[in-house]
Structure 1
Amino acid sequence: MAMRVETNPLEMAYAVLLEHGLEGAGEALRILVNEAAKIERSQFLGAAPYERSERRRDYANGYKPKTVLTRLGELTFQVPQVRCGDFYPSALEKGTRTDQAVHLALAEMYVQGVSTRRVIEVLQRLLGPEISLSTAQVSRAAARLDEGLAAWRERPLGEVPYLFLDARYEKVRLEGRIVDCAVLIAVGVDATGKRRVLGCTVATSEAEINWRRFLESLLARGLHGIKLIIADDHAGLKAARKAVFPSVPWQRCQFHLQQNAGQFVTRQEAKKHVAATLRAIFNAPDKAEAERLLKAALDTWRKEHPKLAEWAETAIPESLTVFDFPAAHRIRLRTTNGLERINRELRRRTRVASIFPNMDSCLRLVSALLAELDDEWMTGKVYLNLNP
């Protein structure tokens, strides 16, 4: 009786390429992917074909053909089946039209809180009932997305001379109620002069404890070399900043300060005059001139607007810290307006959700949007020239 010789799949693929050159690349890929899928099934089962093992979880149950449109054209693979379990080879998930659709559906699922079973129903309506999907496939894709976003949020940080902090609010369903949750965001200018999204988190409020945890997490990831923090005058953030970065100077956002000043004046004409005075102070050529203009303004306001004067005497000097930094940098460091694009994009994209089903779903979407923006900034132009 002749001995049966097993053909090595790698040798088969090699032989196809030798005989047909690049025209045989599709067939070579088919051979290798089929073999990878068989190996993955054996790992899933806990035993090789016909092997008796106490670790065996299930039994092989043949193959089903699956045609996939690849860059090498349409290829038909043999998908290994199991009797009872929910198995699908990962090699056939990546890059296929089904996999792409799964990820698009996942984004919708995260926003709307749709179940994985509902995602499958929608996909089969869109792509046809022949599309074979399982809850395990969708769950695996969701887990990969979560892992990637978590890795981005927890990636190591480095030297960041300028740190911008801001928050916005999103409606989230929490313990049966709809509440406004704070999305805390940190953006920095790194040592190369490029803007980077450093991190984000979702909290129930902007209380000191939430800001403090967020800032401490940035430090734990290696954030260092901060020369200036640009932020608004929120009480929780202010207390957390002093606790975590006690020696780092603070630049109070001039834009928000100017808005706050208007609350102390009632007449429209007076509001315009106060706004013009503040602009002159902020646009002064140096700190000495800014302080001179402020002193003159305070003398006038004490007579005409005493409440404004009392507030401005402490508040406005907090917005002049920027004069201690290079003149070429000041225009970028005076306000948190650079984060407005982030807020605008978040508003546009989260408007679809209206109300997030939970805090995790909110964090997923915000993280995905900010990670995209960070990639754009990382490959874009220098934001500030730190070595003039």
Structure 2
Amino acid sequence: MIATCYLKGVSTRRMNDLVATLGISNLSKSQVSRMSEELDEMVADFRNRPLDPGGHAYLSCDALTIKVREGGRVVKCSVLLATGVNADGYREMLGMHAATAESNASWKGFFQDLKARGLRGVFLITSDAHEGIQHAISEVLPDASWQRCRTHFAKNLYEKVPKTQWPMVSAMFQTIFQQPDAQSTWAQAHEVVDLLEPKFPQVAAYLEESLDEVLAFTAAPKPVWTKVWSNNPTERLNREIRRHTDVVGIFPNRESIIRLVGAVLAEQHDDWIQQKRYMSLSALEQTKHLMHRTGDHHGDYHQLTA
């Protein structure tokens, strides 16, 4: 019962009220964590399972910061997450990794673990501009392109523009993503840079130097653009994780983070597999053709950006 309540995000105070009816009093967070250890085997099986041999063309990666007690003090732990779209078009939770901090080494180790479990056929990885993630992708998954989340990039852009001018700049930025094809998207992006140059030269330069990252999605088939050009689809997952971790507040150890977050992810994974396809089979087939036609899909990407 305690393990189920723990997984569902019930607070320790409410658990106290519940178990008081069974003659148990003063239930602590550490006791709740120990009673929930039966989840460990299920979480370990989920985290170590072989991945779909059909490959995962599209990945979305994110990182959450969670507080934990280590060495007698409260520190921040980074939980790295990866979701993917399998060969049948369904979303999957691919894995999680609890790291001391975001870095090239932590992302590299995470991607290496995914590869060891069978990750293959990656075409595009979408994420925020996390510390070290670009280098890790190039080292471990050299055939994959990196898409910088357009939503978070827009927030970075916002910080460089006077607040009174942001509505105009934002409207111009959004026109880039309203184009019918890759060629038009790149043409519009360069036009926006030219329009910004006279009044906001620093903003124009920042946008221009980031285009390869922000418009990497244009190398993918048009039907998947809205699903890969930002990390927005994972925001609901992040909120669900936060709903559970905020109840705990400060975790007693790193193992308890893996236990709770891993159990939440396993549950979400099962839900996704039972939902309708996230991407169409035809779009995935187009992606496969792109990769096979060039042997290295970066050839298509550079042709589009030239």
TM-score bracket, shorter-length normalisation: 0.7 to 0.9
2:131 to 235, 254, 259: 235
Query: Is the contact between residue 80 and residue 99 of structure 2 (CA under 8 Å) also seen in structure 1?
Result: yes
Cα 1:106/1:292, change in 2 over 3 Å: closer
Q: Which residue does 1:258 correspond to in 2?
A: 154
Matched, 1:213 2:109: yes
Q: Which residue does 2:73 correspond to in 1?
A: 177
Q: Higher Cα Rg: structure 1 or 2?
A: 1
Q: Deviations over 1:215-240 (max 9, x none)?
A: 11000000111111111222311221
Shift of 1:123: 8.4
Mapped partners of 2:102, 2:268: distance in 1? 23
Shift of 1:107: 5.2
What aligned pairs does 1:256-335 form with structure 2 within 5 A after superposition?
Answer: 256-268=152-164, 270-335=165-230
Cα 1:325/1:106, change in 2 over 3 Å: closer
Mapped partners of 1:153, 1:232: distance in 2? 23
Matched, 1:226 2:126: no
Shift of 1:170: 1.1
Q: Deviations over 1:251-310 (max 9, x none)?
A: 111111111111111242x21111111110012111211222222222222221111122
Higher RCO (CA-CA < 8 Å; seq separation 6+): 2
Secondary structure at the aligned position of 1:352 is classed as helix
Cα 1:142/1:103, change in 2 over 3 Å: closer
Shift of 1:354: 1.0
Cα 1:108/1:313, change in 2 over 3 Å: closer
1:146 to 27, 37, 40: 40
Cα 1:295/1:378, change in 2 over 3 Å: same
Mapped partners of 2:62, 2:20: distance in 1? 42
Shift of 1:109: 12
| One-letter amino acid matched to 2:138 | K
- Cα RMSD between the aligned structures? 2.6
Mapped partners of 2:5, 2:147: distance in 1? 42
Mapped partners of 1:151, 1:226: distance in 2? 23
Q: Which residue does 1:380 correspond to in 2?
A: 275
Secondary structure at the aligned position of 1:296 is classed as helix
2:84 to 184, 188, 209: 188
Query: Is the contact between residue 110 and residue 364 of structure 1 (CA under 8 Å) also seen in structure 2?
Result: no
Q: Which runs of 5+ in 1 are unaligned?
A: 1-100, 113-118, 130-137
Q: Which runs of 5+ in 2 are unaligned?
A: 25-32, 284-306
Query: Is the contact between residue 134 and residue 146 of structure 2 (CA under 8 Å) also seen in structure 1?
Result: no
| One-letter amino acid matched to 2:51 | L
Query: Is the contact between residue 9 and residue 247 of structure 2 (CA under 8 Å) also seen in structure 1?
Result: no
Q: Deviations over 1:296-349 (max 9, x none)?
A: 222222221111122111112311121222211111111111110111111111
Mapped partners of 2:106, 2:280: distance in 1? 33
Cα 1:142/1:209, change in 2 over 3 Å: same
Query: Is the contact between residue 56 and residue 120 of structure 2 (CA under 8 Å) also seen in structure 1?
Result: yes
Query: Is the contact between residue 8 and residue 244 of structure 2 (CA under 8 Å) also seen in structure 1?
Result: no
Identity %: 36
- Give the TM-score taking structure 2 as reference length: 0.81
Aligned residues: 272
Secondary structure at the aligned position of 2:50 is classed as coil
